[in-house]
Structure 1
Amino acid sequence: MITQIKEQQVLTNLFPKKIQMYSRKEVAELFHTSEDTISALVCTGCLEAIKIGKSYSFSYYSILDFENEYRGFDLSSTEKMKNAFEIKHKEAVACRDYN
């Protein structure tokens, strides 16, 4: 019983009380871009989304990860998004192989 209570307390501390999810429109507004650009970022793998029903939702953490991973990259076209994703993917594989 005590173990179950401790496990519950750990889980409660790990997750925020309220998980904030953003719509494609809200993310587009945050980045001052179009909803189509956000869709392209999702399709190229640069921005992670969760599909719920017919629409995509974006967690606060996926938005932060995107900002950190792609800072300094030119993502002004789908081709440039694909190139940036390939560069980041190669970096991740190289780090994994090194370790």
Structure 2
Amino acid sequence: MINLRRWRVPLLVALTSVVIASLSSSTSFVGNLQYDVDDTIAAALLRNVDSNIVIVSIDSESLAELRQWPWPRSLHARLLDRLREAGAQRVFYDI
């Protein structure tokens, strides 16, 4: 006869592992959890933001208008010239 008490803990561990694995494979669950963690960390580290900082991003409208990716270096150079003319002291690229 099988002793069920002997197998109770290993079965519970196996069942818990299966549940955790199935939840972690669900990208929406993991993604939402990651967003919540990121938001909590950002809120905890939030400081006053300098209003002189401007973020320029590439949007789908710009991509559709120029119909080319990656953009030529000459376009980036013109953008840097315009930013300098507008008074930008520093420019950082996230490539």
Q: Which has the higher contact order (CA 8 A, sep 6+)?
A: 1
Structure number having the greater strand percentage: 1
- The interval holding the TM-score normalised by the smaller chain is under 0.3
Larger Rg: 2
**Structure-1-length-normalised TM-score:** 0.25
